[in-house]
Amino acid sequence: MCGIVGAVAKKDICPVLLEGLQRLEYRGYDSAGFAVIDSDKKLQRIRIKGKVEKLQEQYRLSPLRGTTGIAHTRWATHGKPSIKNAHPHTYKNQLALVHNGIIENHHKLREELISLGFEFNSDTDTEVIVNAISNELNSDTDFLAAIFKVMKLLEGAYALGVLNIDEPGRLIAARKGSPLVIGIGVDQYFVASDVFALLPATQKFIYLEEGDVADIRANKLTIYNKNKKIVDRPIHVSESTVDITDKQGYRHYMMKEIFYQPDAISNTLKGRSTKDQVITEEFGENAKQIFSKTECIKIVACGTSYHAGLIAAFWMEKIANIHCQVEIASEYRYRKSVILDNTLFVTVSQSGETADTLAALRSAGDAGYLSTLAICNVDESSLTRESDLCFLTHAGIEIGVASTKAFTTQLVALFLLVIAVAKEHGLSKKDEAKLVKQLSTLPARVSKVLEHNDAIELMAKDFADKNHALFLGRGSFLSVAMEGALKLKEISYIHAEAYAAGELKHGPLALVDEDMPVVAVAPNNNLLEKLKSNLEEVKARGGKLYIFADEISEVESTNGMFVLNINNVYDYMSPIIHTIPLQLLAYYVAVIKGADIDQPRNLAKSVTVE
Ligand code: M6R
């Protein structure tokens, strides 16, 4: 998964390309590059290994100028991060191409092209595309027709931007399986992997659809659909503002996003309920009718969003008494699953572009589900556009790769869903009002738990020299522990695993010693006494415990056992409250270790490849 930007204008487009790339860096940051056609109609290119900042430095040292260009920030799939594998890839300074996605049949195409005399200079799957276009151009096909022909050869997913020095004021873009948006300016058009890249340049956008090809010139845009017919696609005006990249005094986006959670939750709740009722129509016009028929729910997601789904399943079965199954999207899409009658298919995703989640949704399309619902943070993402029902979390754009405010707002959205479904299946008005009230307490309670920031920063020092950590929880708090472990490993590179506390003695207890910190999520619920026994088992083996407890939990700090009372009163909102200290712990451990908090190694924010 990578980020693409392109532009055609009547003025130099290099600054727009570079700023766009910077804003797309969340999609990948192991190498970057851009190419322009200069005033002598020559192709000029700069590529670096590393982040966009390095590309900008290189550009400052030897600036390029051009009115037509493409740029790319890479997350390596085929071929390691290096200059030779960085995009744009070229064919003999004649063609330049950027690509986001994966070409699955690249081996076969490469062999065919080599047998025709083509040379390859990189290890990427992408290079076959530029060579294949050149091959088509050699047989007297025009530029646009060559791209259509090559699209037919490609298996897999792609968003492409292509330049041809024989047509200096023209950029051709195409998509299948990877997102691409056109930005509309005055005497200029842009193309990018998402609107965020182009917000400093324009607020007007067209979302390309599957199989679309855009033929872009400074004063003319023509869009063809997959059948090569010219089509009109609607223009959307974005309400997003440009200054969302401001860290507002925080050292990292992740910290800004952790502390923004009370606002993000308020925004997600706003307009979604009255004082005592959930507004079901917020899920879609016919949501009420669909929810009344729903007898079963299947939630499919990846990573953090999957953890949100796991917690929601506890709520759904307890409150709505509706069977709820949660599955990892990359597993779901490749297995046959038995679909029970009247099952609602729910996807959860921050980005709405996660390839596995999207593929799972697409495979659910004609599989016999009652309906599909997307819970997503990005309006007009592929997931929201392709689902029957949609509920947007209003977390605001999340830039840190580690998901924080997206997760807690997903839980808010899922709790609203649970109530909306439950009320179609017998939840009384009185109980609905009680649940809505619990939700409304959340922003203030999250603010309160954030006050433990300093204590958690101190606690983090004990973790910085450790290589492993265990996270324990029971019930829905096992999923909270899983999320805590994911955060820690993702940004601090400490190996962390979560276990159901009751499972410890069935194996993992063997790992416990003084070098293995054990973090326990200990809400004051019906499982607390059981959890306490599990913690004693750890203590007896010399393990050092870090316990996040509720008010009145009667767990006290002792030698080798540090208890942080987070002053929470147990209720359905507790999984959300207990997540916050774990986010802070991971953050501070990573800061102490000097890790790259917002852009952890090997990862990217939006995982648009399988
Ligand atoms: O955009 P999505 O919510 O679909 O992304 C799914 C995962 O890639 C994502 O949650 C990932 O696990 C986070 N970076 C973890 O913090």
Instruction: Report cis status (omega within 30 of 0) of the bond before 88.
Output: yes
**DSSP per residue, 70-137:** EEEEE--SSS-SSTTTSSPEEETTTEEEEEEEEETTHHHHHHHHHHTT----SS-STHHHHHHHHHHH
Q: 3-state DSSP helix/strand/coil percent for the chain, to nearest 5?
A: 40, 25, 40
The answer, yes or no, to whether any atom of ligand 1 lies below 6 A from the CB of 583, is no
Per-residue confidence band for 25, with pLDDT thresholds at 50, 70 and 90: confident
* Superfamily the domain 451-603 falls into: Glucose-6-phosphate isomerase like protein; domain 1 (3.40.50.10490)
d(CA 548, CA 286): 42
Residue 590 three-state SS: helix
pLDDT at 242: 54
Counting from 1 in the atom list of ligand 1, the atom nearest the Cα of 406 is 3
pLDDT at 26: 82
C-alpha pair distances (Å), 453 with each of 96, 521, 547, 567, 574: 49, 17, 15, 13, 18
Looking at per-residue confidence, does 56 or 26 come out higher? 56
pLDDT at 65: 96
Looking at per-residue confidence, does 234 or 606 come out higher? 234
Counting from 1 in the atom list of ligand 1, the atom nearest the Cα of 401 is 14
Give yes or no for residue 313 having a pLDDT over 70.
yes
Tokens of 249: 């005094």
Give yes or no for residue 212 having a pLDDT over 60.
yes
Tokens of 191: 């193309």
How far, in Å, from the CA of 541 to the mean position of ligand 1? Answer: 35
Q: Please name every residue paired with 91 in a beta bridge, in sequence order, or none if there are none.
A: 95
Mean of all residue pLDDT scores within the chain: 93
How far, in Å, from the CA of 302 to the mean position of ligand 1? Answer: 6
d(CA 160, CA 147): 10
Residue with tokens 């998964």: 1
The answer, yes or no, to whether any atom of ligand 1 lies below 6 A from the CB of 607, is yes
Position 13, amino acid: I
Per-residue confidence band for 604, with pLDDT thresholds at 50, 70 and 90: confident
- pLDDT tens digit string along 431-467? 999 999 999 999 999 999 999 999 999 999 999 999 9
One of 3.40.50.620, 3.60.20.10, 3.40.50.280, 3.30.9.10 is the CATH number of 3-245, namely: 3.60.20.10
Counting from 1 in the atom list of ligand 1, the atom nearest the Cα of 487 is 16
**DSSP per residue, 244-301:** GG--TT-SSHHHHHHHTHHHHHHHHHTTTB-SS-B-GGGG-TTHHHHHHH--EEEEEE
The answer, yes or no, to whether any atom of ligand 1 lies below 6 A from the CB of 403, is yes
Of the residues 196, 253, 350, which should be mutated to test ligand 1's pocket, given the most ligand atoms within 8 Å of the CB? Answer: 350
- pLDDT tens digit string along 474-494? 999 999 999 999 999 999 999
Residue 529 CB-density burial (10 A; 0-12 exposed, 13-18 middle, 19+ buried): exposed
All CATH 3.60.20.10 domain ranges in the chain, comma separated: 3-245
d(CA 397, CA 378): 8
Residue 322: closest CA among 434, 202, 419, 215: 419
* HEC per residue, 381-437: CHHHHHCCEEEECCCCCCCCCCCCHHHHHHHHHHHHHHHHHHHCCCCCHHHHHHHHH
Residue 24: closest CA among 103, 98, 125: 98
Across the range 50-75, mean pLDDT stands at 95
Share of the chain above pLDDT 70, in %: 99
Counting from 1 in the atom list of ligand 1, the atom nearest the Cα of 402 is 16
- pLDDT tens digit string along 230-268? 999 999 998 776 566 678 899 999 999 999 999 999 999
Q: Count how many residues are written for the chain.
A: 610
Q: Which of 2, 14, 324, 376 is catalytic?
A: 2
Q: How many C-alpha atoms does 609 have within 13 Å on its Cβ side?
A: 22
Neighbouring C-beta atoms of residue 187, cutoff 10 Å: 10
86, 75 in Cβ contact below 8 A?
Answer: no
Query: Catalytic site residue 2?
Result: yes
Counting from 1 in the atom list of ligand 1, the atom nearest the Cα of 351 is 1
Looking at per-residue confidence, does 601 or 174 come out higher? 174
Q: Which of 176, 256, 405, 605 is catalytic?
A: 605
How far, in Å, from the CA of 92 to the mean position of ligand 1? Answer: 39
How far, in Å, from the CA of 255 to the mean position of ligand 1? Answer: 17
The answer, yes or no, to whether any atom of ligand 1 lies below 6 A from the CB of 178, is no
Of the residues 302, 327, 357, 384, which should be mutated to test ligand 1's pocket, given the most ligand atoms within 8 Å of the CB? Answer: 302
pLDDT at 556: 77
All CATH 3.40.50.10490 domain ranges in the chain, comma separated: 247-448, 451-603
Give yes or no for residue 386 having a pLDDT over 70.
yes
Contacts of 327 (CB under 8 A, 6+ apart): 298, 299, 300, 337
- pLDDT tens digit string along 406-437? 999 999 999 999 999 999 999 999 999 999 99
d(CA 170, CA 453): 53
Across the range 191-203, mean pLDDT stands at 93
C-alpha pair distances (Å), 203 with each of 161, 192, 237, 426: 21, 13, 6, 45
C-alpha pair distances (Å), 592 with each of 130, 462, 466, 572: 44, 10, 12, 33
- pLDDT tens digit string along 257-302? 999 999 999 999 999 999 999 999 999 999 999 999 999 999 999 9
pLDDT at 536: 82
Top CATH class, 247-448: alpha beta
Query: Catalytic site residue 376?
Result: no
Contacts 24+ apart (CB under 8 A), 431-437: 432/276, 432/277, 432/278, 433/275, 433/276, 433/277, 435/319, 435/572, 436/273, 436/274, 436/275, 436/276, 436/277, 436/278, 437/276
d(CA 98, CA 70): 7
pLDDT at 243: 62
How far, in Å, from the CA of 403 to the mean position of ligand 1? Answer: 6
Per-residue confidence band for 570, with pLDDT thresholds at 50, 70 and 90: confident
Give yes or no for residue 63 having a pLDDT over 80.
yes
